[in-house]
Amino acid sequence: MSMPEAADAAPLDDEMLVMDVADTLRRGIDIPIAPAPGPADPAIIERLRVLYQQQGIDAPDRVLSEGIAALADRRFLHTPKAGAARNIALLYISRRKWGPLVFAVCLALAIGLGGYFFGYRPYREAAAQKARLELTQDLPAQIDDLYQAVFDETKVQTAADDALELRDAGKAAAKKGDRAGAERAVADLTALRDQLEEVYTLQIVDKEGVKPGFWTFPPNNSEATNYYIVVEAVDADGNTETLPVTSEDTGVTQDVARWGLRVPQSVYDAVIADKQTNGFIQHKVIGHKLDGFTDVDYLVPVLGGALTQW
C-alpha cells in the first residue's frame, strides 16, 4: 500500500495491520531480511515502526511481531491447489504462447482433412468407379466386338475357334475382377483380327549385298544342317511390311522386316542356283497371305521354323 493510499484509508484493525505487515515484508523493505525472520528481530521491528509512522499509522510492537511471524509461517500467502481447474486456468493464461502454434496445427489439419475428404477421396472413388465400369461393361463389350470382327473376317474355322476361346476366357476374367486377364484377351483378339486382315506377298529378298539364303547347325545337333531363305512381306503397293516373327533358336518374338524361313535343302539349293544364273532371282515369290486367312499359302515346301538374326 502506498503512503497516499494509507493516508486516505480508514484506520486498520490489528488483524488487517498484521496482514499488511506480512505483505510489506513480502514485497521487501530496505534492510536484509532472512527467508523466515524471527518475530522479535529488533532491527526489522524498528524499521517497520518507522515505515508505518511515516504513513501516520501507530503500529504496536505486538502487531509488528505477529506480522513478522505471519510472514514466516506463510499465513496470508495463497497457495493454489493442484488440479484440473488450475491447469485449465494456467493454460488459458498462457494462450499467447501456445495459441499461434495450435492454430497453425489446426489449420494444417483442416486443410489436410479438407483436401482428403473433398479432393483426394472423391477422386479415388471416381477412379475406382470408372475402373469397375471398365471391367464390368467396357472390356466385356470390347471383347464381344473383337470376337464378332474376327468371326466376320475369318475364312478358316481354326481362327473362329481361337476367337471363341479367347472371348470366353476374357469375359470370365472380367467377371472375376481379373483386369489383366481381360486386357490380355483384348490384346490377343486384336492381334488375331489384324492378322486376318493382312494381305501381302511373301518373297525372297533379292537386293544388292543381301544373301538370299544361309545355313546353320541346330543348337542341339551339330551333325545336322538347317537351311533358310531370306524373305520379306510386300504389300500391294510394293512396300515392305514389318511382321511379328518368333525366332526358333531363342523363342523370342520380334517385329522384323525380313527373316530367315527354314526350308528343305532342295528349295535352298534352287534359290542359290537361280541367283547365280544371272545375278537375279527369277522366281522370288514363295507365297501369298490372303484376307481372312491366318497363314501364308506357300508355293514351295517350307519347314516352318524361322530366325530373326543370323
Give the residue carrying C-alpha cell 495459441: 99
Shared domain for 255 and 271, answered yes or no, is: yes
Q: Is residue 82 in a domain? A: no
- 308 closest CA partner among 233, 241, 255, 234: 255
Q: Give me the number of domains the chain comprises.
A: 3
307 DSSP β-pair partners = 260
Report pLDDT for 235.
94
226 DSSP β-pair partners = 216
What gap in Å lies between CA 153 and CA 92, rounded to an integer? Answer: 82
Shared domain for 270 and 300, answered yes or no, is: yes
pLDDT tens digits, one per residue of 175-214: 998 999 999 999 999 999 999 999 999 999 999 888 999 9
Report pLDDT for 268.
96
Shared domain for 192 and 105, answered yes or no, is: yes
Give the residue carrying C-alpha cell 513478522: 68
Q: Domain ends where: 156, 172, 196?
A: 196
**What one-character-per-residue DSSP string does 12-51 give?**
PPHHHHHHHHHHHHHH--SS---SS--TT-HHHHHHHHHH
Shared domain for 109 and 192, answered yes or no, is: yes
Identify the domain containing residue 22 by its residue range. Answer: 3-72
Shared domain for 192 and 205, answered yes or no, is: no
Confidence of residue 100 (pLDDT cuts 50, 70, 90): confident
Q: Is residue 87 in a domain? A: no
Shared domain for 283 and 184, answered yes or no, is: no
| Grid cell for residue 1 | 500500500
- 189 closest CA partner among 213, 155, 227, 159: 159
Q: Is residue 83 in a domain? A: no
Q: How far is CA 5 from CA 8, 9, 157, in A?
A: 5, 6, 118
Shared domain for 207 and 299, answered yes or no, is: yes
Above 90 in pLDDT, residue 84? no
Q: Is residue 152 in a domain? A: yes
Above 90 in pLDDT, residue 243? yes
